Amino acid sequence: MNPNLTNPRADEVDAILKRIPFAQTLGMRCDVLGDEMTAILPFQEKLIGNVTIRALHGGAIASFLELTAMLQVFLVSDMPRPPKPMNITIDYLRQGHAKDLYARAYVMKMGRRMASVRAEAWQENRADPVSAIVAHFMVAHD
Amino acid sequence: MNDNRNDPDRIAAVMREHVGLMNSAVPWGNEVGFEVTKIEPGHVWGRQPWAENLVGDPDTGVIHGGVITTFLDNLSGMACTAAMTKLRFVATIDLRIDYMRPAEKGLDIIGEAECYRVTKSVCFTRAWAYHGTREKLIATSAGTFAINKPRFGSQSPQGKTEV
């Protein structure tokens, strides 16, 4: 493997994900390439919010995006532990269909005390996001 | 149409009658395990019990924020339905959650949502998650919801919408 493509934090992201019971309940996983991470939420019946139209629950999508944002902050920082969220704003843009969901997060600002992060989730087409969040995390080392 | 000026009361009564159905028809709601405990016009309360599989921080046993988001989103949407004069369901447009303090391990979280304004197509909500009383806030939220048009089958032949 090309060592330049390998982020030593990548294995830690995987370990954190496995240790968080709620991430396991969701059933998400992450692919990390360097400082780029794609989160994957494989479809499961339990993620449905509306059985009539078979749409994913907004809360499940928001949970997935919040975890993705948190892990991205961890990935690009030198924090010993994942950061704690301060707030999150979710835009529900399109219906989440009964299929796999993907997400990527961007750290817009890494401050000394706070990080501002944006994350988007999509299905077929990355240009047509299902939902987007803006979240703030505490990144102070104390 | 001057029938049923107290319609939010009637809608709230219909919702109370079918609360079991409304809970069980939401798989992700079942997975996180919250229940709706009280429905008044424009105002809905619920309870989210602590559970191991909801933990977001394995070192402290604190429930993940996503659980609270799910809980407040759902309660807020129901508060919208309970605030309207006709039975209408809503879809979340956006929701902002502020985390005040971590939820304590092992304790129930109480949720309370209020729909304080209904327009022709949009509802505005605020909601609270706390332990015991609102003095001990875990999170607050502000949301906007789009009112869904009635689905086929709910129109009478005259084009008048029925509940």
How many domains are contained in chain B?
A: 1
Are β-strands A36-41 and A101-110 bridged in parallel, bridged antiparallel, or unpaired? Answer: antiparallel
The pLDDT, as a whole number, for residue A38 is 97
The pLDDT, as a whole number, for residue A6 is 66
Q: Which residue of B has its CA nearest to A89?
A: B96
In a domain, B152, yes or no: no
| More confident: B46 or B159 | B46
Measured between CB atoms, which of B53, B57, B70 is closest to A63?
Answer: B70
Q: Per residue in B8-25, pLDDT tens?
A: 788 888 888 888 877 778
| Token representation of residue A29 | 């996983």
Query: Domains in chain A, start-ordered, CATH in brackets?
Result: 3-138 (3.10.129.10)
Distance of CA B78 to the CA centre of its chain: 4
CATH of the domain at B27: 3.10.129.10
| B94 contacts in chain A (CB < 8 Å) | 89-92
Measured between CB atoms, which of B26, B57, B66 is closest to A62?
Answer: B66
Over residues B136-147, mean pLDDT: 97
- Nearest-5° angle of CA B46, CA B48, CA B49? 135
- Nearest-5° angle of CA B145, CA B22, CA B45? 65
Position B151 pLDDT exceeds 80: no
Burial class (CB in 10 A: 0-12, 13-18, 19+), A32: buried
Give me the sign of the Cα torsion angle A105, A108, A111, A114.
Answer: negative
The residue among A81, A64, A73 whose CA lies nearest residue A29 is A64
Measured between CB atoms, which of A19, A49, A66 is closest to B66?
Answer: A66
A69 and A119 in contact (C-beta within 8 Å)?
yes
In a domain, B155, yes or no: no
- Contact between B27 and A63 using a beta-carbon 8 Å cutoff: no
- Contact between A21 and B30 using a beta-carbon 8 Å cutoff: no
The pLDDT, as a whole number, for residue B160 is 43
In a domain, B142, yes or no: yes
The pLDDT, as a whole number, for residue B154 is 47
> Distance between CA B36 and CA B23 in Å, rounded?
7
B46 and B72 in contact (C-beta within 8 Å)?
no
- Contact between A86 and B93 using a beta-carbon 8 Å cutoff: no
Per-residue pLDDT of chain A (142 residues; tens, 9 = 90+): 445 456 788 889 999 999 999 999 999 999 998 889 999 999 999 999 988 889 999 999 999 999 999 999 999 998 999 999 999 999 999 999 999 999 999 999 999 999 999 999 999 999 999 999 999 999 986 5
For residue B153, give every residue at least 6 positions away whose Cβ sits within 8 Å of its Cβ, in sequence order, or none. Answer: none
- Contact between B58 and A19 using a beta-carbon 8 Å cutoff: yes
Over residues B39-59, mean pLDDT: 96
Q: Which domain holds residue B96?
A: 7-147
Position B30 pLDDT exceeds 60: yes
